[in-house]
């Protein structure tokens, strides 16, 4: 039986730009590949580019940063079956681990110590039909749900999902304005007007350094 290995796009150290961990120094492991093609994707370079690394190599590279927080992202990390093994080994090594997943694949087998950041795809993403709604049943208070909103239609849709599925009772909910398509200040006005139990998210890393690899 072959040893676990993953196709890795990049491993880097930066400030977490999103989620409730925003601003925290974090080691990022970006996996190659994704079954989705969201209209606003800012990591298209991760669709195919990468090198195959055995899990001990990945853990060695992460250890060089002496980070407490580790985020496994993509692409779509869960598209590679050995991602589950990586997540477990990162937890075993004592890291505080988060997983950024697009919500189309099953999260049930993810190590319960991992904070799962579940992206629910809006109509504006072009992938709304790919949402795996069964995933919501697995969410715990340590997880988070994220909506990337491209405009008012997305906002109204997300507000309805938030209410009908009682998401805020399961875990923290994040509303993020799609860069270049929705002004964060306008989204903030809508959230305040409707008194929604959500957190406005602005991508800190893009404010600091703009778009690009390793950020």
Q: Rounded to an integer, what distance in angstroms lies between the CA atom of residue 87 and that of residue 151? A: 34
pLDDT band at 99 (very low <50, low <70, confident <90, very high): very high
Q: Which of 191, 187, 168 is nearest to 179 (CA)?
A: 187
Q: Is the Cβ–Cβ distance between 147 and 158 less than 8 Å?
A: yes
Task: Phi first, then psi: give them for residue 173, nearest 5 degrees.
Answer: -120, 135
Q: Rounded to an integer, what distance in angstroms lies between the CA atom of residue 211 and that of residue 92? A: 32
Q: Rounded to an integer, what distance in angstroms lies between the CA atom of residue 78 and that of residue 107? A: 8
Say yes or no: domain 5-209 is CATH 3.40.1410.10.
no
pLDDT score, position 80: 97
pLDDT score, position 110: 98
Mean pLDDT of the chain: 95
Domain boundaries of the chain, sorted by first residue: 5-209
Q: Which residue has the tokens 């992938």?
A: 127
pLDDT score, position 212: 66
Burial bucket for residue 54 (CB in 10 Å: 0-12, 13-18, 19+)? middle
pLDDT, tens digit, for every residue of 140-166?
999 999 999 999 999 999 999 999 999
pLDDT, tens digit, for every residue of 3-55?
899 999 999 999 999 999 999 999 999 999 999 999 999 889 999 999 999 99
Q: Rounded to an integer, what distance in angstroms lies between the CA atom of residue 174 and that of residue 140? A: 15
pLDDT exceeds cutoff 90 at 203: no
Bridge-based pairing of strands 144-149 and 173-177 is parallel
pLDDT exceeds cutoff 60 at 215: no
Structure tokens given for 133: 């709604």
Q: Is the Cβ–Cβ distance between 125 and 40 less than 8 Å?
A: yes
pLDDT score, position 205: 72
pLDDT score, position 210: 72
Q: Rounded to an integer, what distance in angstroms lies between the CA atom of residue 107 and that of residue 98? A: 13
Q: Rounded to an integer, what distance in angstroms lies between the CA atom of residue 98 and that of residue 72? A: 6
Q: Which of 136, 129, 67, 149 is nearest to 101 (CA)?
A: 136
Give the predicted TM-score (pTM) of the model.
0.93
pLDDT, tens digit, for every residue of 181-199?
999 999 999 999 999 999 9
Q: Is the Cβ–Cβ distance between 27 and 67 less than 8 Å?
A: yes
């Amino acid at each position: 039986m072959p040893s676990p290995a993953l196709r890795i796009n990049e491993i880097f150290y930066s400030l977490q730009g999103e989620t409730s961990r925003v601003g925290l120094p974090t080691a990022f492991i970006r996996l190659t590949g994704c079954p989705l093609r969201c209209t606003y994707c800012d990591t298209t370079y991760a669709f195919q580019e990468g090198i195959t690394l055995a899990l001990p190599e990945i853990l060695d590279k992460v250890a060089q940063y002496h980070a407490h927080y580790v985020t496994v992202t993509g692409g779509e990390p869960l598209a590679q079956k050995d991602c589950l093994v990586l997540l477990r080994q990162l937890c075993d090594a004592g890291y505080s681990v988060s997983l950024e997943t697009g919500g189309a694949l099953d999260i049930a087998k993810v190590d319960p110590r991992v904070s799962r950041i579940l992206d629910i795809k809006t109509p504006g993403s072009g992938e709304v039909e790919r949402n795996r709604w069964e995933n919501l049943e697995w969410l715990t208070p340590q997880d988070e749900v994220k909506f990337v909103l491209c405009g008012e239609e997305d906002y109204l849709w997300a507000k309805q999902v938030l209410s009908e599925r009682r998401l805020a009772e399961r875990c923290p909910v994040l509303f993020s304005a799609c860069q270049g398509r929705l002004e964060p200040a306008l989204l903030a006005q809508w959230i305040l007007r409707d008194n929604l139990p959500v957190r406005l998210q602005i991508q800190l890393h893009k404010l600091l350094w703009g778009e690009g690899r390793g950020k």
